Structure 1
Amino acid sequence: MALLVSSPPLNRRFMSLIIAALFLIGLLWFFTPSFDSVRHLDVPALLHYSDPPGVSAPPSSSAGSGLQPKPNHPIDHLIRRAYADIDALLAKETHDVHAAAQAYRDRRGRQPPPHFDAWFAFAQNHSAVIVEDFFDQIYSDTAPFWGVPARQIREQANDFLHRISVRDGNVTQRTDIDERAWMNLWQDMVQSVAQWLPDVDMPINVMDESRIVVPWEEIDGYMQRERASRIIVPQEELKTYYDGLKGLDRNPPEKFDAEFSGMGPYWPLAVVGCPPESAARKAYIETDFSTAPPLDGQYPKGSYEGYVQNWTLAKSPCDNAALQGLHGTFVEPISIANTKKFFPLFGGSKLPMNNEILLPPAMYWTDDPFYSGGKEHGQPWDEKRNGLIWRGAASGGRNKESNWKRFQRHRFVAMVNATSVEMAETGEQTPLNFALPANDTYDLAALTGSTAHSSSKFGALAKWIKTWSNAAVVHLLCFPDPNPPHCAYTDSYFSVSRAMPMKEQYAYKYLPDIDGNSFSGRYRAFLYSTSLPVKATIYEEWHDSRLVPWVHFVPMDHTFVDIYGLMEYFVGNGDAGVGGHDDVAKGIAMGGKAWAEKVLRREDMQVYVFRLLLEYARLCDDEREVMGWREEPG
């Protein structure tokens, strides 16, 4: 009975404790950052984009304007979808070598290479984010080599003129002149992980342009052999070590002729690397580039209401045949040294149909402020000018009086120049090298009913562009070049401005990044900055699998027709009563910077090169099909 009498007070005290505990838990839950906020790199302004696709984002006002943006914008949809993509990618992160090895087997269909445990330990000790998908470029580049004999690969590599070699953990280079800056930087990059590497010979592409395009049909044959070779070799049957290459040094192979040719144009040489059914293989080959480019101002192919939704498609010359007349690489590159012969050649960038093996570019390894931007990466977002800055040479190839209208950098500068756009709007001059959006395809406030208060819509787009654009060339690079930096045939269209150090460009919120003779060497520095990169390219780089468009940068179509829609979305148009999405821009910029500082560090380049050269060394071994890391039970 005493127990029954004393029971109610105990229950009340117990219930009181439970209620107090629940209250404390509730407070902790309310004030503790969500898992989403951690995964999204602590960018509160964009947390609503972690909602499931289809959930409308709340309104977001332009910077201090109080204006509301247009509701249900296509870019809202693309950003929400992109955040779902990065969530799915990060869910694959592995934290121990056994999980990483299983992820490797699941994705690659074979055992990890020998020394995989040493690679994983190196990556983990350097705080790398380890997601198997991040290394897809390695396998895209090297897979076809499973279709050719290992001896052929190592002998071709050993004889190539420009070469970086590893022997017993020491790195040397061979080239044709005393000093090649890129070779020195790549040698240093490889040396930084050489103590763990097997012997390898790495032929290096010392040109800006890509050099190998093997016919698609031949590569497809190699890929069929690669797929047939995939097997998970039992642990007890694995060969767990690499053979050295000293025997090859003692008995050099026969002379290897890569059969490079300098004959152009480049487009017919490049499209042989595209699938037979591709648009590029079926396209009429242009030879006259003196006319305006083939642009109609309509939505780009494969876009989502005019904006890039498939970054791989947007960059693909195979799928965009018009690129032969829109990019200097195909109009007239500075130089051509092309071959159809398949052999290992390493370089910093390539076109999707090229067959080089990608390394992190040498200029990403340097501390030169011209490429790195220096130690300062820009002032806080709210202290920046609410506009776009671009400075660069009119590179991209050999621009001449007969072809300059087809070059990408000339086109971009003209499209964001208020004077050239006003002349196009008023009909004073038909655009020579660009096209305005046709029939209000982008619903721009400057071209629609939002400007009804104005006496005329003519010049409204140009007036708006003038509020945010600051783009100019620093050298017109014409051919021949009698009066640098000016150019007789383009001086009447372009003003030459002084070069601007990257740290000065960081004073602007938006940094377009446009291809030059190949990829732009400023991209990594832009990602590291406190500004927002707006990227247009047709080139592939080592890091493509670890960057997500609309999360880490803003993608732009190679025609640049979407630039006006992009800028209206972000900066708005106050005169037309339309607000922008300054907080969204800030979120992508800051999130991209935080992500770059996690996955694009020098340490991440080391991790990538370490993994790449383990795979490449295995390809060069006659027993490669039974080679792998023997996993001890853990």
Structure 2
Amino acid sequence: MRSNKTDAPAKRWPAWLFIAGIILFFMPAGLFAGRKHVNHISQRFSTESWFSTFTQRSSFLKNDPFSTIEHPIPKLMADAQENFKNKLARQSKTLEDAVVEYRRRYRREPPKGFGEWWQFAQEHDVKLVDEFDAIHEDLAPFWNMSAAEFRNRALEVGQLPSIDLVRVIDGRVESASVDTSSGEHGKRAFGFMSLLKKFEHTLPNMYFPVNAKAEGRILVPWEHRAFPNMTVHNSSGGMTTPDWKGKGSVWESYRRSCPPYTEARRLYSSYRNPNADNPRVFLGPAQAPQNELTFVTNVEDSFDYCSHPGAHVSQGHFFSDWRTIPVLYPVLSPAKAVGFLDIRIPSNYYLGMKKTYTYGFDAENEGHPKDVDDMEVPWEEKKDVIFWRGASTGGGSTPPGFAANYHRHR
């Protein structure tokens, strides 16, 4: 009897080893499946967060030699190519189709001269003939303005610093007032003129105010937009210099464009730094930095800085040195952030090759770069290192002290 009692556990020991082995075998699979389930749920509900969606690589996968880690970039590239291919396939093939599509999208008749534009687009092999979302959005604030008022404002803003004026007179485009002495040398105005040259003979007499800077300039206070008839539109008096000179900032102007009930209009909430140590803020403590590798899968260009003002410290365009204009003027700019009311035009940097930005730039034959740049180093002589080399162009520091936190505005 005694021997039976002592032998029983010994006989059951291999069974416990087997069960333990099963548990150890399925545990990684269970954790992996659970991780996928959590990621699936987080991706479904991540759009409700005011942060962009992230794809995270877990520490478990990093340490598991049998796991396969798929980098998100190839899929993002494939999805983008497929979406663009489908967009091309949907474009109108005839003028009649284009008119119908324009009416469907924008709930209005195409502008005068649409037929001539269609012919021009066909002759120059324009691919996206139905896409007017950007210009439709940018011109929306001006629809209630008369043509005479629009023209007067174009002339007025052309007198302000860092605003160049281009005009069309008797079918010929020319510079009315372009400052070539500044650092920009009027390049954006001259680039815009080169675009108009191709069809200048079809244009009536008109003026185009062109922003000489890279950043957006038009930031209209919320009160002026909500009650346009109760305010004097020309409130840009005293703007004699293009930079702030220590009096004001882009963020101060931006938060005034926010509705009065938003966090940005509350003084403390609009200026706090969410990355400060142990912050006491309205939205709770800031999230501690993470060691996990993350990858941004989408960038929300409609992020609401009025509701989340603390996030502005990470964006360089809020610290630009150049003054904004608090009046609804029709200013043409190469870029703008959400909340600005500039009218977007193609950047002059897309209109030709530049020595600073073009690999293999050939000064003697600017239209055809060299296959190998003069400063290129043979592959076998390169070192296995990577670093940033170049000037931090385009940055600002108004007010100073935040440059270490924000991305370059480009």
| Global fold match (TM > 0.5) | yes
Report the alpha carbon displacement of residue 340 of structure 1 after superposing the two structures with TM.
1.9
User: Paired residue for 1:297, among 270, 289, 292?
Assistant: 289
Q: Please point out which of 171, 174, 191 is paired with 1:169.
A: 171
Structure 1 residues 350-429: aligned runs within 5 Å: 350-373=336-359, 374=361, 375-376=368-369, 390-395=388-393, 396-398=395-397, 402-408=401-407
- CA 1:195–1:389: 2 relative to 1, 3 Å: farther
- Work out whether 1:308 is the aligned partner of 2:284: no
Answer whether contact 1:289 1:403 (CA < 8 A) is retained: no
CA contact (8 A) 2:273 2:313 kept: no
1:151 positional shift: 1.6
1:270 corresponding residue in structure 2: 254
TM-superposed deviation, 1:372 = 4.2
Q: CA deviation at 1:321?
A: 3.1
Question: 2:325 — aligned with what?
Answer: 339
- Aligned match of 1:104: 102
- Which residue, out of 282, 285, 291, partners 2:270? 285
Q: How does 1:200-599 map to 2 (within 5 A)?
A: 200-216=206-222, 218-219=224-225, 258-259=236-237, 261=239, 262=244, 263-274=247-258, 280-281=264-265, 284-286=269-271, 296-297=288-289, 306-313=295-302, 317-318=305-306, 321-330=309-318, 332-335=319-322, 337-373=323-359, 374=361, 375-376=368-369, 390-395=388-393, 396-398=395-397, 402-408=401-407, 515=408, 518-519=409-410
- The SS at the match of 1:202 is strand
1:529 aligns to what? none
Matched, 1:188 2:173: no
Shift of 1:309: 2.3
Match of 2:137 among 137, 140, 165: 140
In structure 2, the CA distance between the partners of 1:319 and 1:393, relative to structure 1 (3 Å rule), is farther
Cα deviation for residue 141 of structure 1 reads 0.8
Cα offset, 1:390, TM superposition: 4.0
Alpha-carbon distance in 2 for matches of 1:109, 1:378 = 49
| Offset from partner CA, 1:209-229 (integer Å, 9 cap, x none) | 32211134654678xxxxxxx
Match of 1:198?
Answer: 204
Question: One-letter code of the match for 1:321?
Answer: P
Q: Distance in 1 between matches of 2:291 and 2:342?
A: 32
Counterparts of 1:174 and 1:299, CA distance in 2: 55
Deviations 1:183-231 (CA, angstroms, capped at 9, x unpaired): 3332222223212223221112223332211134654678xxxxxxxxx
Residues 122, 342 of structure 1: CA spacing in aligned structure 2 closer, same or farther, 3 A cutoff? Answer: same
The residue type paired with residue 350 of structure 2 is Y
Is the contact between residue 185 and residue 362 of structure 1 (CA under 8 Å) also seen in structure 2? yes
Give the superposition deviation at 1:349: 1.3
1:129 aligns with 127
Distance 1:265 1:295, change over 3 A: farther
Equivalent AA in structure 1 for residue 289 of structure 2:
G
CA gap of 1:215–1:338, structure 2 versus 1, over 3 A, is same
Q: Normalising to structure 2: TM-score of the pair?
A: 0.61
Aligned counterparts of 1:99 and 1:123: Cα–Cα separation in 2: 14
Cα displacement (A) at 1:268: 2.3
Which whole-Å deviations, capped at 9, do the CAs of 1:304-349 have from their partners, x for residues lacking one? x7523244246x644653432223332x4223x2222112111111
User: With structure 1 as the length reference, what TM-score do the two structures score?
Assistant: 0.41
Q: Distance in 1 between matches of 2:178 and 2:127?
A: 38
| Same amino acid, percent of matched pairs | 24
1:156 to 137, 153, 163: 153
State the shift of 1:168 in Å. 2.5
1:533-580 deviation per Cα after TM superposition (whole angstroms, max 9, x unaligned): xxxxxxxxxxxxxxxxxxxxxxxxxxxxxxxxxxxxxxxxxxxxxxxx
Query: For residues 147 and 399 of structure 2, what CA distance do their matches in structure 1 show?
Result: 45
In 2: Cα distance, 1:142 partner to 1:359 partner: 12
Per the alignment, do residues 142 and 390 of structure 1 end up closer, same or farther by CA in structure 2, a change over 3 Å counting?
farther
Q: Distance in 1 between matches of 2:89 and 2:250?
A: 42
Per the alignment, residue 20 of structure 2 pairs with none
Superposition deviation, residue 269 in structure 1: 0.9
In structure 2, the CA distance between the partners of 1:165 and 1:114, relative to structure 1 (3 Å rule), is same
Spell out, residue by residue over 1:493-530, the C-alpha distance to the aligned partner (whole angstroms, 9 max, x if none): xxxxxxxxxxxxxxxxxxxxxx3xx43xxxxxxxxxxx
Larger RCO, structure (CA 8 Å, separation 6 or more): 1
**Structure 1 residues 288, 296: closer, same or farther in 2, change over 3 A?**
closer
Cα distance between partner residues in 2 of 1:295 and 1:378: 47
Root mean square deviation, CA, Å: 4.0
Contact 2:320 2:396 in 1 (8 A): yes
Structure 2: which 5+ residue stretches go unaligned?
1-64, 280-285, 362-367, 373-378
Which shifted more, 189-198 or 101-110?
189-198
Question: What is the alpha-carbon distance in structure 1 between the residues aligned to residue 315 and residue 354 of structure 2?
Answer: 28
- Count residues in correspondence: 302
Which structure 1 segments of 5+ residues have no match?
Answer: 1-66, 223-254, 409-514, 520-634
What CA distance in whole angstroms lies between the structure 1 residues aligned with 2:358 and 2:236?
34
SS at match of 1:184: helix
What's the CA shift for 1:356? 0.9
Distance 1:309 1:291, change over 3 A: closer
Tell me, yes or no, if the aligned pair for 2:179 and 2:186 is still in contact at 8 Å: no
For the 8 Å contact 1:326–1:406, the answer to whether it is kept is yes
**What is the DSSP-based 3-state SS (H/G/I as helix, E as strand, rest coil) of the residue aligned with 2:217?**
coil
The answer to whether the 8 A contact 1:364-1:371 is kept is no
Contact 1:78 1:309 in 2 (8 A): no
What amino acid maps onto 2:249 in structure 1? P
